[in-house]
Chains A and B, each alone.
Chain A
Amino acid sequence: MVVPLNTYVLISNFKLVYNLLRRPDGTFNRHLAEYLDRKVPANANPVDGVFSFDIIIDCSTGLLSRIYRPASADEPQPNITELMKPVTSDVVPIIIFFHGGSFAHSSANSAIYDILCRRLVGFCKAVVVSVNYRRAPENRYPCAYDDGWAALKWVNSRSWLQSKDKKVHIYLAGDSSGGNIAHHVAMRAAESGIEVLGNILLNPMFGGQERTESEKQFDGKYFVTVQDRDWYWRAFLPEGEDRDHPACNPFGPKGKSLDGIKFPKSLVVVAGLDLTQDWQLMYVEGLKKAGQEVKLLYQEQATVGFYFLPNNNHFHTVMDEITQFVSSNHE
């Protein structure tokens, strides 16, 4: 099993930083977090064929999103007034992306997520909307989901994001906590009749009260500990709730049934060295049992964060699958 050296350095660094930020009393050193987080500004000038800009989606909550678009060949320098020019292809997937960070860390303008979103645009020829949702512990459940839902409604109502059929072809995607958010936003969409074409969940963050085999087996071995997972759930879930809360454990004892619900097809990526994999696999099983379409991509030798740097096979495998996933509806 090998982790490339630079990936190792990157993720170890995150682990170290995150350890510095979490306090045993459940509070979070937000000031230091923002200082240490490597952020990049949006760039309306295309770089490698992708440009980005930030917009406010909801003034009342200050919800920002960063939008990434492919630059068109014939217009290398988009005008500031043309940032929201209508998409030109017949079919353009719009991927609403929720960054990871266990509900507490990172932002839409974090460097690691900025590059990831740019790569998604490149691979999928999509527009990516990266949502800067409110984070724990300052903003607990359901703030992140509310922000996701707000972003979804906003995206769905943008005429400039419509494909030729006058519909916005929406996909929800996210890694870690972002994957969890994608699921719950998709639930709300299904209940409200907004069509989501697919969910892409990269190492989604789920959990439960029970301690699973993978948690015991991998505790502390690959950058993540059960202890830190517990901390983040305590920070996100409503006070006094345990990890069987449906936000954390959607197919657990308090979960809602998905039977008969028009839930989007899902692509779930699970890293074989992730201690939460048992919960992720149970999520996949839960979808299957409810008769929902789901594809599992189990990357046996991958650790958390394998998708941050394009220096391993898992990265490319997963990117190819995602590309196919958002294009399979279109022939």
Chain B
Amino acid sequence: MVLYDSSALSAGSGGGSGNSSSSSSKHPQTDIDGLLAGAGYKVRSSELTQVAQRLERLDTAMVNSPADFTQLASDTVHYNPSDLASWVDSLLSEFTHTSALPADGPGFLIDPGVNQTVPNSSWNDQSAPQIRRNVCFEQNQNHQVTVVTAMEEDSGIRLVHLMMTCAESVQRGDLGMATSFIEDMQGLLMRVNTVCGIGKVAGHFIEALSRRIFQVVGHISGSSAYENEILYHHFYEACPYLKFAHFTANQAILEAFDGHDCVHVVDFNLMHGLQWPALIQALALRPGGPPFLRLTGIGPPSPDGRDCLREIGLRLAELARSVNVRFAFRGVAAARLEDVKPWMLEVSANEAVAVNSIMQLHRLLGSDSTRNSPIETVLGWIRELNPKIMTVVEQEANHNQPAFLDRFTEALYYYSTMFDSLEACPLQPAKALAEIYIQREICNVVSCEGPALVERHEPLAKWRTRLAGAGFRPLHLGSNAFKQASMLLTLFSAEGYCVEENEGCLTLGWHSRPLIAASAWQAAPDGASEVGLINGGGNINNNDAL
């Protein structure tokens, strides 16, 4: 791709060769594009992009409703065609009034007449171009804007380019430029289908970028636990990721508990306890009878005097009683996982312990140089507990990179894929709220930094290293788990999801891109792990954690 550099767009008199037009070669307004002036049009260089966008908009409108356009031709009064920006604007506003074209405005307006639908466009879908002639605005090194017209690019990919460029400006600290990109993108969004496809994802990312740029601190970071739980529940319903996580973890826990009469599950994030009815029932049906099951559910403190954890516990106890499983529940309220101390869990010596972390460990990866990193602390006491099994489910993404642009790029790819997969799911009320759940993740990844940034997803490969270094060894999730997970997918019957086995771990993804990874671990025997001793000391047992 060849980009032309800024000197090609020089304002001032004439062009490079000095053969300027017959009009005066001096332009008092230095911002006027000299070459266009020679052709009889006065346009400010700074307005070129806008004029181009509006021309394109009119063109699209014309394609979509040619009858209205012919009307426009005969009815409009054309003032000063040399003032191209104004002329185009006047046409646009005429057209807006005479047809279904929505006027410029904030928000995502969807006009089926104007927007070309991009059905089910995944990131890599380069098939039929959706809009016939497309424009992408790019910046080269000299911060000059050039226009790229490419045959196969559609509006979605243009949006992507713009987003990347905006993120790059943000990384550079050029918030002024980033802001103008936000405006461009919001304009583009008007002409893109934001109901599905890249337009929808773009909307969320642009929102997140805006928040970052304008330092909006709002309901997203300060959302209530209650809201979170509702959204989580809908995310659970709408698509298979959490179901897969629960299913796979439960299968592994079940196998680990084989032969034990006293078992204790520690759930790092109870939510509505959606994972546990299935386990309770599976234990009830165990040959030889169910064990005594204790469940310790960790969750945020409840507001206004309620004890939400206990309420969930009571419901689970009801269920357990109905299937004759001896059951005890304990809730541990903690604002952050790192605030949990092992003594709070009251693990007894004769229990087989299962530690269950569904998308929680990554939240511990924010480090504060003044103290032990929370992840090491927590992994340390988990290992101390010597659980029969630790089930870990994490987003399969690399969102914990220090450079913002890298994180942004990765997130864009990841969440695009996730949104695509969501689209394949049957239309249900749950989808809308599931989307908001995902949107909040996006917002955190993109607009937050430091302690506020909790969605620090890391890929399986990194977790393997980390966990091995913390004294854990992997337990292979058996072929049983794989079969059951695949069956779950068939039941769910959405084409495109795929379960893969990855060195004893299972991943669920969309069309060969894994999005979530489930793994199981056990404390490695002392002396067996030499890699990455905690805090560099020779003592694996980290007494500091207690």
The yes or no answer to B454 lying at the interface (CB within 8 A) is: no
State in angstroms the CA–CA spacing of A52 and B21 once bound together: 11
| Interchain CB contact under 8 A, B20 and A5 | no
The yes or no answer to A166 lying at the interface (CB within 8 A) is: no
State in angstroms the CA–CA spacing of A220 and B1 once bound together: 21
Q: Mark B310-327, 1 if CB is under 8 A from A, else 0.
A: 000000000000000000
The yes or no answer to A122 lying at the interface (CB within 8 A) is: yes
| Interchain CB contact under 8 A, A8 and B39 | no
Choice from A1, A9, A41, A115 contacting B19 with Cβ under 8 Å: A115
Choice from A8, A112, A114 contacting B149 with Cβ under 8 Å: A8
* Smallest CB separation, B248 vs chain A (Å): 47
Count of residues in A whose CB is under 8 Å from the partner chain: 56
Q: Specify which chain A residues have a CB less than 8 angstroms from the CB of B150 in the assembled complex.
A: 1
| Interchain CB contact under 8 A, B62 and A19 | yes
| Interchain CB contact under 8 A, A21 and B56 | no
Q: Specify which chain A residues have a CB less than 8 angstroms from the CB of B49 in the assembled complex.
A: 5
| Interchain CB contact under 8 A, A311 and B133 | no
* Smallest CB separation, A296 vs chain B (Å): 22
| Interchain CB contact under 8 A, A29 and B73 | yes
Q: Which residue of B lies closest to A12 (CB)?
A: B55
The yes or no answer to A40 lying at the interface (CB within 8 A) is: yes
Q: Specify which chain B residues have a CB less than 8 angstroms from the CB of A52 in the assembled complex.
A: 22
* Smallest CB separation, A130 vs chain B (Å): 13
Q: Specify which chain A residues have a CB less than 8 angstroms from the CB of B52 in the assembled complex.
A: 5, 8-9, 12
Q: Which residue of B lies closest to A51 (CB)?
A: B22
| Interchain CB contact under 8 A, A16 and B48 | no
Q: Mark B51-71, 1 if CB is under 8 A from A, else 0.
A: 110011011001000000110
| Interchain CB contact under 8 A, B33 and A114 | no
* Smallest CB separation, A258 vs chain B (Å): 35
Question: Count the A-B residue pairs with Cβ separation under 8 angstroms: how many?
Answer: 167
Q: Which residue of A lies closest to B15 (CB)?
A: A310
The yes or no answer to A209 lying at the interface (CB within 8 A) is: no
State in angstroms the CA–CA spacing of A122 and B16 once bound together: 13
Q: Mark B6-34, 1 if CB is under 8 A from A, else 0.
A: 00110000111111111101000000010
State in angstroms the CA–CA spacing of A32 and B147 once bound together: 29
Given A47-B25, A118-B19, A311-B4, A16 contacting B62 (CB threshold 8 A): yes
Which of A142-150, A242-250, A301-309 is the contact stretch?
A: A301-309
| Interchain CB contact under 8 A, B145 and A41 | no
The yes or no answer to B43 lying at the interface (CB within 8 A) is: yes
Choice from A6, A220, A319 contacting B35 with Cβ under 8 Å: A6
Count of residues in B whose CB is under 8 Å from the partner chain: 56
* Smallest CB separation, B145 vs chain A (Å): 6
The yes or no answer to B491 lying at the interface (CB within 8 A) is: no
| Interchain CB contact under 8 A, B69 and A19 | yes
| Interchain CB contact under 8 A, A20 and B72 | yes
The yes or no answer to A38 lying at the interface (CB within 8 A) is: yes
Q: Which residue of B lies closest to A17 (CB)?
A: B81
* Smallest CB separation, A286 vs chain B (Å): 28
Given A1-B2, A29-B73, A47 contacting B22 (CB threshold 8 A): yes
State which residues 123-139 of B face A: CB under 8 Å.
Answer: 132-133, 135, 137
The yes or no answer to B477 lying at the interface (CB within 8 A) is: no
The yes or no answer to B36 lying at the interface (CB within 8 A) is: yes
Q: Specify which chain B residues have a CB less than 8 angstroms from the CB of A221 in the assembled complex.
A: 132-133, 149, 151
The yes or no answer to B277 lying at the interface (CB within 8 A) is: no
Given A223-B133, A309-B15, A6 contacting B33 (CB threshold 8 A): yes
* Smallest CB separation, A105 vs chain B (Å): 14
26 contacts between A and B (CB under 8 A): A1-B2, A1-B151, A5-B147, A6-B33, A6-B48, A8-B135, A12-B56, A20-B72, A32-B78, A38-B40, A40-B23, A42-B22, A47-B25, A49-B19, A111-B40, A112-B40, A114-B22, A115-B19, A118-B19, A123-B19, A220-B133, A223-B133, A309-B15, A310-B17, A311-B4, A311-B8
